[in-house]
Amino acid sequence: MTGWRRPKGGAPYPSQYRRPGLAARRAALNATRPHDFPDFSFWRIEADSFHINGGFARAAELQPGHVLTSLAGAEELVDIEADAVQHMNQDHPEALERYAGAAGEGGGPWRTSGIDPEGIDLAAGDRAARLFFPQRVVDGRSLRAMLVALGKEATTKG
């Protein structure tokens, strides 16, 4: 790849952007899918900056903190994410439909594919949606309260 370079001095992301256990969860997911194509591989890209071009004279250089969600102080949420995702998918599919509607999406069936301090990621087939939380969540209690509040709000609007 043109312009490819290894990060200098170790990992480019401060520890607040790393997700412990994410590699193991992805490996378990990938084990359930056949990836034995000779021209198929997974890559992890760790960028130390981003360049966005929004049109003529609208370019900007962004740092990881502008693009990535900080996980600082959200260690409990990171630890329970996989269980929360599984719980929502198994026990609350109707709530996921309401969240997708609140995110401007139509019928599913929708599943959650990830949760972080800033929102919940949803997927339905090849469609994806994200519902941003109005406030940052950092633990199971604040996550539950946020999801209940968003569900009630979506119900009253819909």
62 & 85 share domain: no
Domain count, the chain: 2
Give residue 146's domain range: 75-157
pLDDT at 29: 58
- Residue 143 lies inside a defined structural domain of this protein: yes
pLDDT at 60: 86
User: Does residue 7 or residue 114 have the better pLDDT?
Assistant: 114
19 & 62 share domain: yes
Mean pLDDT of the chain: 80
**Last residue of some domain: 24, 44, 67?**
67
- Residue 2 lies inside a defined structural domain of this protein: no
Please name which of 114, 132, 110 lies closest in space to residue 123, comparing C-alpha atoms. Answer: 110
3-state helix, strand, coil in the chain (%, to 5): 40, 15, 45
123 & 79 share domain: yes
- Residue 10 lies inside a defined structural domain of this protein: no
pLDDT digits (tens, 9 = 90+) for 22-61: 666 666 656 555 566 666 666 777 778 888 888 888 888 8
Percent of the chain with pLDDT over 70: 73
